[in-house]
């Protein structure tokens, strides 16, 4: 399964199996719920904001390996970042998964996010990969409001 392993890289499989920052964050200040009706991916994202800084971030829920790994990697990247930095990372991520397949991603700039480059080849899975990011943004911008990928 050589081609498939481009999408299901070890990092993704690992984060799927052992998701980081998983579970409720009882003292959260911001939260949102994200749902992908097409495939049933369903997550909550919880944040503790200290002014403009993300002091802590967790997620919980169920979904496919791509959506779960993406949520998990996102939490590891956003802890300690400012709102503006978070939005910038979201933009980088979004640009990556929607960029043309022929375009070689800048792995150095993208860091950990680069493992999601394989998603570009599977248009139906881009929503899976983006769900947690949209949910995070909704939590920060419109605390408490749910988002849907539809």
The residue ranges that bind another protein (CB under 8 A) are 1, 3-5, 7-8, 13, 16-17, 38-40, 42, 62-66, 122, 125, 128
Cα 15 to Cα 75: distance, rounded to the nearest angstrom: 11
DSSP state of 22: B
Cβ proximity to another protein: between 67 and 89 the closer is 67
CA distance 150 to 129: 14
Three-class secondary structure of residue 17 per DSSP: helix
Please report how close the Cβ of residue 120 comes to another protein at its closest, in angstroms: 13
Of the pair 36, 54, the CB lying nearest another protein is at 36
Instruction: Indicate the residue among 40 and 80 with the shorter CB distance to another protein.
Output: 40
Q: For tokens 């998964």, what's the residue? A: 97
As measured in angstroms, the least distance from the Cβ of 5 to another protein is: 8
- Residue 143 CB, shortest distance to another protein, in Å, is 27
- Residue ranges of alpha helices (H) inside the chain are 2-7, 10-17, 65-78, 83-98, 107-110, 126-141
Structure tokens belonging to residue 147: 């988002």
Minimum CB separation from another protein for residue 51, in Å? 37
Residue closer to another protein by CB (options 10, 27) is 10
How does DSSP classify residue 118? Answer: G
């Amino acid at each position: 399964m050589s081609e498939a392993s481009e999408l299901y890289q070890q990092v993704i499989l690992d984060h799927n199996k052992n998701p980081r920052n998983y579970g409720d964050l009882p003292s959260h200040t911001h939260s949102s719920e994200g749902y992908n009706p097409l495939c049933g991916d369903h997550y909550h994202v919880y944040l503790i904001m200290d002014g403009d800084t993300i002091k802590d971030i967790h997620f919980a829920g169920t979904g496919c390996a791509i959506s779960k790994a993406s949520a998990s990697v996102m939490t590891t990247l956003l802890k300690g970042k400012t709102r503006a930095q978070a939005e910038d990372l979201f933009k980088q991520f979004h640009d990556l998964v929607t960029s043309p397949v022929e375009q070689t991603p800048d792995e150095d700039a993208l860091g950990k996010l680069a493992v999601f480059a394989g998603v570009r080849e599977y248009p139906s899975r881009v929503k899976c990969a983006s769900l947690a990011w949209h949910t995070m943004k909704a939590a920060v911008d419109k605390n408490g409001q749910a988002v849907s990928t539809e």
